[in-house]
Every structure is written in C-alpha cells, then in structure tokens.
C-alpha cells in the first residue's frame, strides 16, 4: 500500500522533472545560437512560459509530500488541536491541476517546435507518435481510485485491514521519532 502511495506521488514529479530537463537542454541551444525562424521563436516562448509553471508544480508537489508526512506524524498525537497547514480547497486543486496540465502542454509544443526547426518531417512524426503514446498511456494506466480498490480488496483477501496497517505504520514511525527525540535529551 505504501508503494502505491509513493508511486502516485512520484509520477507527477518525474514527469515535471523530465520536461524541465528537456527544456533546459534545448533552451541552452536557443540562448547560445539565437532565434533563426518562427519554429525556434515559438519553442523559445513556449519554454519561457512552461518552465516556471513546471518548476512551480514541482515545488508544490514537494511541499504537499512534506506536509502529508507531517500530517501523518501529528494526526495521532493531537487530532483535536492540530490543523493541517496544507488543506487545499477544491478551487486550489483546480488551479494547480490547470497549471500542471497547461505547463506540460506548452512544454510539449516547445519540444515539437524545436524538433520542427531541425526538420518538419521529424516534428510531424514526433507529434503523431506523441499523440498515439498519450492515448495508449491514458487507456492502459489505471486511475487512482481503481488502484485503491484493488489494494483494499487485496487487504481484505489476506485478512487484514489496510487502514489498520497504515495506522500501525504511522504508530511505528511515531515511536521511532519519539525514541530518537528522547535519545537526544
């Protein structure tokens, strides 16, 4: 179950980091050589828009993971007095999802434009294969709710409650934390 949660958190971070790396490599070429035609200009503008968006999304995901870990530690300690500093409203979730999706789409436009600059045939092939790959990815990969249902069903089949396992895991982490805390006193 813990691996499922880690996969869910890390998938978005890996996509953002990969796009940022590609943008930085191509951006070095555009900065050193200059803009030669319309496709390189489109690519440069797309990268200058998507790079801050993806970096922002990466930082937000990092903070979300950090506060989730803090919440797991503090939830059991003082659930009546503790209020999470990272409670996101529905509007904030929509804004963050729009930011991430827009940043990824604009980054893809920039990459396609950069390849188009070298060869329009290669750019067209990249665009077609990219669309086909996206369709395959969305059809093949299960959504989060389905994965959680499978994990819960496996937990029931084995005869234990997944929430109990998570609580035990959190309690164990809390005991290790307190042990380390008292060790330094």
Question: pLDDT > 90: what percent of the chain?
Answer: 37
Place of tokens 């990268």: 47
Decide: 20 and 55 in contact? Cβ < 8 Å. Answer: yes
Closest CA to 45 of 121, 113, 120: 113
For residue 161, tell me if it sits in a domain. no
For residue 26, tell me if it sits in a domain. yes
Q: How many domains does the chain have?
A: 1
Rg (CA), the chain: 22
Query: Largest Cα–Cα distance in the chain?
Result: 67
pLDDT digits (tens, 9 = 90+) for 84-111: 555 567 787 788 889 999 999 999 999 9
**Residue, of 140 and 86, whose pLDDT is higher:** 140
pLDDT of res. 155: 60
Q: What is the 3-state secondary structure (H, E, C) of the chain?
A: CHHHHHHHHHHHHHHHHHHHHHHHHHHHHHHHHCCCCHHHHHHHHHHHHHHHHHHHHHHHHHHHHHHHHHHHHHHHHCCCCCCCCCCCCHHHHHHHHHHHHHHHHHHHHHHHHHHHHHCHHHHHHHHHHHHHHHHHHHHHCCCHHHHHHHHHHHHHHHCCCHHHHHHHHHHHHHHHHHHHHHHCC
For residue 66, tell me if it sits in a domain. yes
Tell me the residue range of the domain where 80 lies.
2-141
For residue 159, tell me if it sits in a domain. no
Q: Which of 39-53, 86-100, 158-172 has the highest mean pLDDT?
A: 39-53
CA dihedral for 25, 26, 29, 34, sign (positive or negative):
negative
Place of tokens 């434009």: 113
**Residue, of 1 and 23, whose pLDDT is higher:** 23
pLDDT digits (tens, 9 = 90+) for 2-37: 566 666 668 888 899 999 999 999 999 888 888 889
For residue 174, tell me if it sits in a domain. no
Number of C-beta neighbours around residue 141 at 10 A: 10
For residue 173, tell me if it sits in a domain. no
Give the separation between CA 1 and CA 164, rounded to whole angstroms.
Answer: 12
Decide: 155 and 162 in contact? Cβ < 8 Å. Answer: yes
For residue 124, tell me if it sits in a domain. yes
For residue 43, tell me if it sits in a domain. yes
């Amino acid at each position: 179950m813990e691996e499922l949660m880690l996969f869910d958190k890390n998938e978005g971070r890996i996509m953002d980091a990969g796009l940022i790396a590609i943008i930085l490599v191509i951006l070095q070429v555009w900065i050193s050589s200059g803009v030669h035609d319309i496709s390189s200009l489109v690519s440069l503008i797309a990268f200058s828009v998507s790079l801050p968006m993806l970096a922002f999304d990466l930082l937000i995901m990092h903070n979300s993971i950090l506060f989730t870990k803090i919440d797991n530690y503090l939830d059991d300690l003082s659930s009546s007095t503790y209020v999470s500093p990272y409670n996101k409203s529905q509007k904030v979730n929509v804004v963050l999802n729009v930011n991430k999706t827009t940043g990824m789409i604009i980054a893809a436009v920039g990459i396609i434009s950069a390849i188009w600059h070298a060869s329009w045939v290669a750019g067209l092939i990249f665009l077609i294969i990219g669309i086909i790959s996206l369709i395959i990815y969305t059809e093949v990969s299960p959504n989060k709710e389905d994965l959680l249902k499978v994990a819960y069903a496996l937990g029931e089949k084995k005869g234990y409650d997944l929430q109990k396992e998570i609580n035990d895991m959190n309690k164990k982490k809390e005991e290790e934390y307190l042990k380390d805390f008292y060790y330094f006193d």
